[in-house]
Amino acid sequence: MATTTALSTFNVSKSYSVTRNHLQFRTFLTYSLSSRSSEFLTPCKSSLIDKKLVVPWIEYAFSARTLHVTAEVNSPEKKKWKPIKELTSEPRYSKAARRFYNENFRESSSQRLSKVLAAAGVASRRSCEELIFDGRVTVNGSVCNTPQTRVDPKKDMIYVNGNRLPKKLPPKVYLALNKPKGYICSSAESQTKSVLSLFNDYMKSWDKRNPGQPKPRLFTVGRLDVATTGLIIVTNDGEFAQKISHPSSGLSKEYIATIDGAVHKKHLIAISEGTLIDGVQCTPDAVELLPQQPDKTRPRIRIVVHEGRNHEVRELVKSAGLEVYSLKRIRIGAFRLPPDLLLGKHIELKPPQLKALGWGEK
């Protein structure tokens, strides 16, 4: 009905053809248009002759939507013009456009100088403070000896040992590593291998995966001793590391301790009662003897703690008169080590996984 009403306003001198979604006119057309319906047509090389619009030899393709609206406008029941919402609504910008604007045009808030240097990959936060105290950092041409100085790397000229700090800071990186035995959680030079060496291939391919982005300086969140395996978080976000590693976060950590020897009920009671570590009474949240596995002869104990003190689980087991054969961390907060993640391999953490660690949506 709408199409019939729309076509009734047109005087067509020759035949026309109808396709699936468009009505095509390939002929010399003469239109008898009202003042309102002319808003839908913008012909070229036209002239008005006796209130009729003559369009010489030009092709028009009208969609079903256009014909429907034209019919509504010319209908006697529709006396008032109603604008189409799709044409008058505010434009919607894509996520990529908003991200580009935020990174290049929005004013960034200033941060502490030591934090900016650490985020840029100069060194650890503590080492950056030492560089600032030694007078090896300048801000806008003046030596700065205060790590708490507020700076903006996009506006301020920051030099470290004579080298200009890049204006653009590297993006935040969050990784979960299945730490193998024999690696230390430190970036200091040592004969013992560092877990950060397991990310050499990741850093080599950084420029290919993130063109134009500065390389991040990675460090571990907390530590696992050289003989302990399992879940360790690696990042370049100091605020994130401070939050999830601080005891105030209340994040529990689950370990599986394989014991060398027999385990009895008295041992489990002794572990659950806790022990003194550095003058502080440490009591585990849960202690459980796991069922015996057919392929493993040694008993295993599941221990959940939240203090996070150095060698806490090993000290708890030792105070009960037991000896740890191997120790593995399998959970931090609500994030559990993926069972298919091989030793020495890592995965990038997504927002749901970060939320499980108590970081929330970023």
What is the spatial distance between Cα 248 and Cα 235, in angstroms, rounded to a whole number? Answer: 20
Distances (CA, A) of 324 to 136, 260, 263: 47, 6, 11
What is the spatial distance between Cα 104 and Cα 108, in angstroms, rounded to a whole number? Answer: 10
> Could you identify the residue written with the tokens 């030596």?
143
What are the tokens at 298? 């040694």
What is the spatial distance between Cα 1 and Cα 206, in angstroms, rounded to a whole number? Answer: 61
What is the spatial distance between Cα 358 and Cα 163, in angstroms, rounded to a whole number? Answer: 37
Q: For residues 10, 57, 38 and 16, what is the CA-based torsion angle, rounded to 10 degrees?
A: 30
Strands 174-179 and 229-235: antiparallel
Please say whether the beta carbons of 352 and 255 come within 8 A.
Answer: no
Count of alpha carbons within 13 angstroms of residue 65, beta-carbon side: 3
Please say whether the beta carbons of 79 and 18 come within 8 A.
Answer: no
The strand pairing partners of 301, in sequence order, are 257, 289
> Could you identify the residue written with the tokens 């002759």?
49
Which are the contacts of 99, defined by CB distance < 8 A and separation ≥ 6? none
Active site residues: 225
Which are the contacts of 267, defined by CB distance < 8 A and separation ≥ 6? 320, 321, 322
Q: Could you tell me if residue 250 is left (phi over 0), alpha (psi between -120 and 50 degrees) or otherwise beta?
A: left
What is the spatial distance between Cα 163 and Cα 153, in angstroms, rounded to a whole number? Answer: 14
Edge to edge, what strands does the sheet with 47-49 contain? 10-12, 29-31, 52-55, 47-49
